[in-house]
Amino acid sequence: MSRLVELEVPPWDRGKRLDAWLAGEMEGISRSRIQQLLEAGAVTLAGGERPKANYRLRGGEKVLVTLPDPVSLEVKPEPIPLDILYEDEDVIVVNKPQGMVVHPAPGNESGTLVNALLYHCGDLSGINGILRPGIVHRLDKDTSGILVAAKNDAAHRGLAAQVKAHSMKRVYLALVHGNISEPCGRIEAPIGRHPVDRQRMAVTAKNSREAITHYRVLEHFDGFTLLEARLETGRTHQIRVHMAFLGHPVVGDLKYGPRRCPFDVPGQLLHAACLGFNHPVRGEYLEFTAPPPQPFLQVLEKLRRQKEGEG
C-alpha cells in the first residue's frame, strides 16, 4: 500500500522552494524524485492545493506526500565481485572500488554497485525507487571506500534517520594540493548547483543547502597535505567542493581542481575510510574501516620517500 507522510513547515523555513525543502526533509528521496511526485500530484497542502516544485513556503503549512508502492525493479542483477565488510539480514557494508558507479543512470545502466548488490542479496529496500534500491548514502564514481546499503524498508528508514540527524560517522582520507597550515578546521559553506555549469556543485547562497565539513591535517608533503575529513552534512561532492573553496582541491579531481594531475591516478585521491552507525534494527553501534586503494597508497609512498630524501 502507498504511504502517507505528513510534514509541517517550521517558520524559519519560510521562503524556501518546496522541492528543495522536501528533499532535505525526506532523507533517502532525491530532489528529482520529489519533483516527479509533485508533477504526479502526490504532494498536496492541507487544504488540498497541489503546489508546483517552485512553490515558496509560507511557514506553518502542512505538506502531505503520498509515496506510492515501490515499482518492480528493472535493474538487472550482475555477478560483480564485492568487497564485503559486514552483512546480516538487514544491512550490507561494502568497500566500493574507485571507478564503480553506485547506482544506474543514463550512460551507466550496468556494472554499478546496485547491480552487484542485487545479484548478491537478491532483494533490497524499495524506498529509494527502482534505480537506487537500498541506497541510503552515496559515493562519487571515482571516490573509493565504505558504504552501507539497506536490505529492507525498516533498515532503510533507520539508516536514513541517522543520516538526517548527522549521527552517522563518515570519515574520509584526502590528499589535497598545497600546504594547510592550521592543524584542524571547520568549513561551513552552503552548497548548491553551479550557476553556469549544471554538472558541477559550488559554494553559493542561491538555492543551496547547509554544508559542514570538519578536517584534521595528518601529514605535510612538499606541495601537498594529507588530511582526514569528517562529514557533518552530506551534500553532493561536499568534500571536493569545500576543499576547492579553500584553495586546496583534492589531488586528481579534474572537475574542481587543476585540469592535469601531477600523478598517474584513475581519479581523485579521496577515500571513505571509516563508517560508523547504530544498527537500524538491533540498535548496537557498528564501525568499519578500510585502507585506501593501491594508487592512493603508492602516491603517499612516493611523497614520503621524497620527504625523507629532503631530510
User: Is 140 one of the annotated active-site residues of the chain?
Assistant: yes
Q: Are 239 and 250 in contact (CB under 8 A)?
A: yes
Phi and psi at 84, nearest 5°, equal -90, 125
Residue 206 to residue 72: CA distance in whole angstroms: 37
In the block, residue with C-alpha cell 542485487: 118
Confirm if 169 and 276 have CB atoms less than 8 A apart.
Answer: yes
Q: Are 250 and 200 in contact (CB under 8 A)?
A: no
- Active-site option among 19, 140, 142, 253: 140
158 neighbors 263 (Cβ within 8 angstroms):
no
Gap between the Cα atoms of 191 and 237, Å rounded: 9
Q: Count Cβ atoms below 10 Å from residue 54 Cβ, excluding itself.
A: 11
Query: Cβ atoms within 10 A of the Cβ of 287, count?
Result: 11
Alpha-carbon distance 281 to 158, whole Å? 7
Residues 6+ apart with CB under 8 A from 77: 115, 118, 119, 122
DSSP-derived pairing of the beta strands 270-278 and 144-150: parallel
- Name the residues annotated as catalytic: 140
